[in-house]
Amino acid sequence: MILLDRVSKVYGKDSEDAAISRVSLHVEPKEFVIVVGQSGAGKSTLFKLLTREEKPTSGKIIVGGIDYENLKDKDIPNLRRKIGVVFQDFKLLPNKTVFENVAFALEIVGVSNREIKHTVPKVLSIVGLKSKESRYPRELSGGERQRVAIARAIVRQPKILIADEPTGNLDPKHAWDVIRVLERINKFGTTVLLTTHNQDIVNKLRRRVITISDGKIVSDKANASYEV
Amino acid sequence: MGKQTRGRRSTTLGRIFKTGFVNFFRNISLSVAATAVMVVTLTIVLFFVIANATFNHSIEEINNKIVVSVYLKDNVSPDKKDALINKLQGLDNVKSVKYVSKSDALIQYRADNKDNLELLQAVSQTDNPLPATIQVKPKDPTRNEEIKAILETPDIKALQSDETSYSGDRKEAIDKISNATSFFKKAVLVSVIVFTVISMLIIFNTIQMAIFNRRDELRIMRLLGASTWFIRGPFIVETMFYGIVSAILSIIICNSLFLIQDQAFNSSSLGLLDLTYANQYFIDHFYIFLGMQFLLGIFIGAVSALIATKRFLRFSQKKSHVLWRRRQQTL
């Protein structure tokens, strides 16, 4: 469950210039939610608040039962381990293979090599990249890279997956490959929070759509289509 | 602690060490520079410790050779002689008192001059002309005033056949040696400090460069939930590795220098520095020195890395957006 209660984020001192202003939001477990909005509307800030890259100026955030207000510096790694994150620019490590990139997420939490060898191929087959596990990111297409990033995000079986413009750099075919993977993960029971600019994707998915404009939620509808 | 947590911890620790080790070779040119300056530092430290011990040894040797000789008239009664010996033994600055009888003195004289026939004949022709002697070894030969005062009192002076020999009055020479060595010690100590600071700064810089080179990777690690120590640890392991390599190299350098000196110069001292003793001291304390160099190298490395990672990898939430903005500019 994700809960935001009147959350604001102001950079600098001018409160008129808030990146996010009094945003309240409630996402149930296993939901698939699409966040739309133009560039600079505040989507990325919203996600950075959820991954605790940023601290809210005011308001309350609770994710998976963790109240961010009481979160200490040393608890942040633990929080991030519970949330899977996918970025528009993939953020893969170029000098590691597909397998190693996914394994990396497990290595940093101390999972044994045996468990890694067992888990990673399974996750790579979910995203359809089992045959490319020894390739390097530069040898893959954009869509494939993004699916590696998704595999890395879900390999620790997070309850929540945040995908920030995962299709932003992809052509329509590859974009749909990525979206299908996300739908599949959602079907397994993971809450998915997706931001996108892609009208076609939003309209065809028919999911809950939250529209953000100027740092405020302007609409929040189930089975909705793209309207910015 | 559960078994699984323990297992995970040891796996993580293993990975931190492995990453640190791999990173040493990944930045080989930076690693070599940092290691080189640390080798210089550790070698100077080792040199300082050995030279210090050797100087102390030399000064002690000179001091040991200094004896106050009191020559007794032949007619001094054993009682008076014993009384004088007891009096001298009671003094604070007296280490030991040795009585050499006339006949002992003769035996000693003959032994000392066994190659000089003339001198031998000079003695044997007459009765034994050598006086009995009381040899006083002072604890601190530079402070003989107390002994002198007693020996100068008229009734004791009357027992003596000859002027007391303060072999003695080498206070000036000893002072000179002490001053020279203490100046030398200070100079080396200053260079130890200077080089320690330089190696710390260079390691500091090395870590800064490494962090800059790996900033994408570090950011990804952080976003994936890597703990602070999982990110910092490898840097610290890497610098500890500099320390270990430097310690071994400094010991090898020192050992080689002794070997070269032994074979090439075949000299046993360089001015005040008694190289034979220094070499022996090094061999006798080899494992202590090895341990000392390891500890020092690891210490210098770890402290610099701790400060550098604290300075350049900001983990605090308060500063995170500042760091983020800066990163947006640099990436």
Pick the more confident residue, B143 or B221: B221
Residues of A in contact with B6 (CB under 8 A): none
Residues of A in contact with B217 (CB under 8 A): 93
Same domain flag for B72 and B86: yes
Q: How many domains does chain B have?
A: 2
Query: Which pLDDT does position B1 carry in this prediction?
Result: 52
Same domain flag for B196 and B306: yes
Query: Which pLDDT does position A172 carry in this prediction?
Result: 86
Segment B213-229 shows an average pLDDT of 86
The whole-angstrom separation of Cα A193 and Cα A25 is 12
Same domain flag for B33 and B91: no
If pLDDT is split at 50, 70 and 90, which confidence band does A15 have? low
Same domain flag for B86 and B152: yes
Q: What is the pLDDT of residues B303-314, one digit of tens each?
A: 999 998 888 776
Same domain flag for B184 and B314: yes
B10 CA: distance to closest CA in chain A (Å) = 8
Same domain flag for B180 and B205: yes
B26 CA: distance to closest CA in chain A (Å) = 12
What residues make up the domain containing B206?
Answer: 3-61+174-330
Residues of A in contact with B225 (CB under 8 A): 76-81, 108-109
Q: Is the pLDDT of residue B170 over 70?
A: no
Q: Which one of A53, A80, A145 would you mutate to disrupt binding with B, by most B Cβ within 10 Å of its Cβ?
A: A53
Tokens representing residue A191 in the block: 């809450």
If pLDDT is split at 50, 70 and 90, which confidence band does B172 have? low
Tokens representing residue B57 in the block: 């040894």
Same domain flag for B147 and B234: no
- Is the separation of the CB atoms in B66 and B143 below 8 Å? no
- Is the separation of the CB atoms in B204 and B304 below 8 Å? yes
Cβ contacts of B324-327, under 8 Å, gap ≥ 24:
B324/A53, B324/A54, B327/B215, B327/B219
Q: What is the pLDDT of residues B17-40, one digit of tens each?
A: 998 888 888 878 888 988 998 999
Q: What is the CATH number of the domain that holds B159?
A: 3.30.70.3040
Same domain flag for B142 and B212: no
Segment B279-290 shows an average pLDDT of 92
Neighbours of A157 (CB within 10 A): 13
Residues of A in contact with B8 (CB under 8 A): 109-112
B205 CA: distance to closest CA in chain A (Å) = 24
- Look at A12-16, A108-112, B204-208 and tell me which has the smallest mean pLDDT: A12-16
* Exposure letters A30-41 (e unless 16+ CB within 10 A, then b): ebbbbbbbeeeb
Segment A203-219 shows an average pLDDT of 91
B292 CA: distance to closest CA in chain A (Å) = 34
Contacts across the A-B interface (CB distance below 8 Å): 68
If pLDDT is split at 50, 70 and 90, which confidence band does B126 have? low
Q: What is the pLDDT of residues B90-113, one digit of tens each?
A: 888 788 888 888 888 888 777 877
- Is the separation of the CB atoms in A23 and A217 below 8 Å? yes
Pick the more confident residue, B126 or B80: B80
* CB pair distance less than 8 Å for B227 and A108: yes
Segment B275-302 shows an average pLDDT of 91
Same domain flag for B34 and B159: no
A42 CA: distance to closest CA in chain B (Å) = 15
The whole-angstrom separation of Cα A206 and Cα A194 is 13
Query: Which pLDDT does position B267 carry in this prediction?
Result: 57
Give the chain A residue whose CA is nearest to the CA of B319. A54
Residue where a domain terminates, one of B169, B186, B219: B169
pTM for the predicted model, two decimal places: 0.72
Q: Which one of A47, A107, A157 would you mutate to disrupt binding with B, by most B Cβ within 10 Å of its Cβ?
A: A107
* CB pair distance less than 8 Å for A79 and B223: no
Q: What is the pLDDT of residues B37-78, one digit of tens each?
A: 899 989 988 988 888 888 888 877 777 777 788 888 888 888
Give the chain A residue whose CA is nearest to the CA of B13. A110
Same domain flag for B180 and B163: no
Mean pLDDT of chain B: 81
Domains of chain A and CATH, by start: 2-221 (3.40.50.300)
Segment B137-146 shows an average pLDDT of 75
Q: Is the pLDDT of residue A100 over 50?
A: yes
The whole-angstrom separation of Cα B225 and Cα B12 is 13
Pick the more confident residue, A152 or B119: A152
A84 CA: distance to closest CA in chain B (Å) = 8
Residues of B in contact with A76 (CB under 8 A): 225, 317
Residues of B in contact with A51 (CB under 8 A): 223
Q: Which one of B6, B10, B13, B220 would you mutate to disrupt binding with A, by most A Cβ within 10 Å of its Cβ?
A: B220
Residues of B with CB under 8 A from a CB of A: 7-9, 11-12, 15, 216-217, 219-228, 230, 315-317, 320-321, 324
* CB pair distance less than 8 Å for A109 and B9: no
B5: left (phi over 0), alpha (psi -120 to 50) or beta: alpha
The whole-angstrom separation of Cα B200 and Cα B101 is 64
Same domain flag for B188 and B293: yes
- Look at A69-83, B7-21, B100-114, B167-181 and tell me which has the smallest mean pLDDT: B167-181
CB nearest to A93's CB, from B9, B220, B225: B220
If pLDDT is split at 50, 70 and 90, which confidence band does A81 have? confident
Residue where a domain terminates, one of B169, B194, B225: B169
Residue where a domain terminates, one of B117, B143, B169: B169
Query: Which pLDDT does position B323 carry in this prediction?
Result: 46
Same domain flag for B306 and B196: yes
- Is the separation of the CB atoms in A195 and A3 below 8 Å? no
Segment B162-168 shows an average pLDDT of 67
CB nearest to B315's CB, from A73, A104, A111: A73
* CB pair distance less than 8 Å for B223 and A53: yes
* CB pair distance less than 8 Å for B223 and A52: no
Residues of A with CB under 8 A from a CB of B: 11, 51-55, 73-74, 76-81, 85, 91, 93, 104-105, 107-113, 152
ipTM exceeding 0.85, yes/no: no
Query: Which pLDDT does position B319 carry in this prediction?
Result: 46
The whole-angstrom separation of Cα B65 and Cα B80 is 27
